[in-house]
Amino acid sequence: DIRLSSRVSTVRPSPTLAVTARAAELKRQGKDIVSLGAGEPDFDTPGPIKDAAKAALDRGFTKYTAVGGTPELKAVVAAKFARDNGLEFRASQILVSVGGKQSFFNLCQALLNPGDEVIIPAPYWVSYPDMVLLAEARPVILDTDIDVQFKISAEQLAAAITPRTRLLVLNSPSNPSGMAYSRAELAALGEVLRAHPEVLIASDDMYEKILFGDAPFVNIANACPDLLPRCIIMNGVSKAYAMTGWRIGYCAGPSALIAAMETVQSQSTSNPCSIAQAAAQSALESGDTLLTPMLQAFARRHQYVYDRLRTLPGVAVLPSSGTFYSFPNVQGVMQSRGIDSDLQLAEQLLEAGVAVVPGSAFGSPGHLRLSFATSDENLRLALDRIGGYITAPA
Ligand code: PLP
């Protein structure tokens, strides 16, 4: 037997990918499964972005680039932060990585020591706690529920901070809850953080563009400009531009931290794919023009899914502020079915022909994550099946 590191034994493979894989396996066996498991837009990458990649290939842009991203892409990222977020960053404060996933991995490796604590509100994106564990630090999970719109309070944050706390992770709008913090809510959290200058803040803005209401996007650096020197703003092209497979994420923050993160990256992947960088550059240069049809579809589907879910007995659901997820509380369904785990409920729904991700995967048992990054027809079918399962006699 091969003896593995204790580090790797503390983490598990991504459970969201596992559900998608299980659904795909059942489909291969000929079962009729509608998957609401996906964590990616169902749209193809817009044509002009693909054209930029083809042009990069044709001009031989196929070699190593600067580890942290081409100067051209960094300039466009800086322009994006200025234009969309009112934040000014120099090139030395920007790092381009192999997806938002690598950005957060680099951050953990560059910042954390064994025993350090990272505050992570639940429900959380599945990778945060595991990447903290891989850095041999300790995730400190703050529970939330539907009554507080899945958002942490200032009091909760204040009570969680210890002398070992190095980082707070904020993800708004959130995968999986779909909730976004308001400026006032962020200001209240910022007020707590002011008293703890040693705590950094990772603002994961990956779903910035997918926002349904009239309120403009806001992050904690917007709400509390004085905290900007302690913020790492993380973003990427994966979700906004339907570019999950291209693997380009970017972040900006204090230059000493960014330099350390770049060193980590230089000893793992080196630069992100040169061709994908050219594509990301064209995506960010295009601003929001290519996004409108996708955003309209997400907004329409959200309305449909929310309207259907809210009528189901035993289901409590909030309208999402953004993202392509709905995160209903299904404890009522579990009770009436005599089921005690959301994993079991997800398995039964898979039997009924719908793949969803159990809330436990995100640290919030008793919930399900439904992705509406799929066709209207699939959504109708999936909700018919979920409704059929719930209302059928047990
Ligand atoms: N952050 C959040 C909240 C996410 O949901 C994801 C993807 O699922 C990422 C970051 C990472 O995105 P990627 O590595 O695909 O760019």
pLDDT tens-digit series, residues 164-202: 999 999 999 999 999 999 999 999 999 999 999 999 999
What's the CA-to-centroid distance between 156 and ligand 1, angstroms? Answer: 25
Residue 1 lies inside a defined structural domain of this protein: no
DSSP H/E element including 200: strand 200-204
Q: Are residues 127 and 260 in the same domain?
A: yes
The identity of residue 276, as a single letter, is A
Instruction: Give the model confidence (pLDDT) of 199-251 as tens digits.
Output: 999 999 999 999 998 899 999 999 999 999 999 999 999 999 999 999 999 99
Ligand 1 atom nearest to CA at 174: 3
Q: Read off the pLDDT band of 12 (50, 70, 90).
A: confident
- Residue 146 scores a pLDDT above 70: yes
Expressed in angstroms and rounded, the spacing between residue 125 Cα and the centre of ligand 1 is: 8
CA distance 182 to 161: 22
pLDDT at site 16? 63
Give the atom of ligand 1 at the shortest distance from the alpha carbon of 248: 16
Q: Which of 16, 45, 101, 369 to mutate to test the pocket of ligand 1 (most atoms within 8 A of CB)?
A: 101
Residues 53, 107, single domain; the answer is yes
**275 in the same domain as 199:** yes
Q: Is the CB of 244 under 6 A from ligand 1?
A: yes
Please tell me the distance between residue 311's alpha carbon and the centre of ligand 1 in angstroms: 31
Helix axes 274-285, 47-58, angle to 10 degrees: 140
User: For residue 38, is pLDDT > 90?
Assistant: no
**DSSP H or E stretch at residue 57:** helix 47-58
Q: Is the distance from the beta carbon of residue 37 to the nearest atom of ligand 1 less than 6 Å?
A: no
Does the beta carbon of 235 lie inside 6 Å of ligand 1? Answer: no
- Based on the domain organization, do 198 and 251 belong to the same domain? yes
16, 62: one domain: no
* Residue 394, pLDDT above cutoff 70: no
Domain assignment of residue 122, given as a range: 47-285
Using DSSP's 3-state secondary structure scheme, residue 357 falls into: strand
CA dist 97 to 204, 252, 278, Å? 14, 11, 13
Are 91 and 240 found together in one domain? yes
Mean pLDDT, the chain, rounded, equals 96
- Boundary residue ending a domain (285, 312, 335): 285
Of 261, 285, 309, which residue constitutes the final position of a domain? 285
Please list, in sequence order, all residues whose beta carbon lies within 8 angstroms of the beta carbon of residue 138, skipping any fewer than 6 positions away: 115, 116, 117, 118, 132, 164
Domain boundary among 250, 285, 320: 285
User: 261 with 133, same domain?
Assistant: yes
Q: How many domains does the chain have?
A: 2
| Whole-complex ipTM | 0.99
Does the beta carbon of 236 sit less than 6 angstroms from any atom of ligand 1?
yes
Answer yes or no: is 19 within a domain. Answer: yes
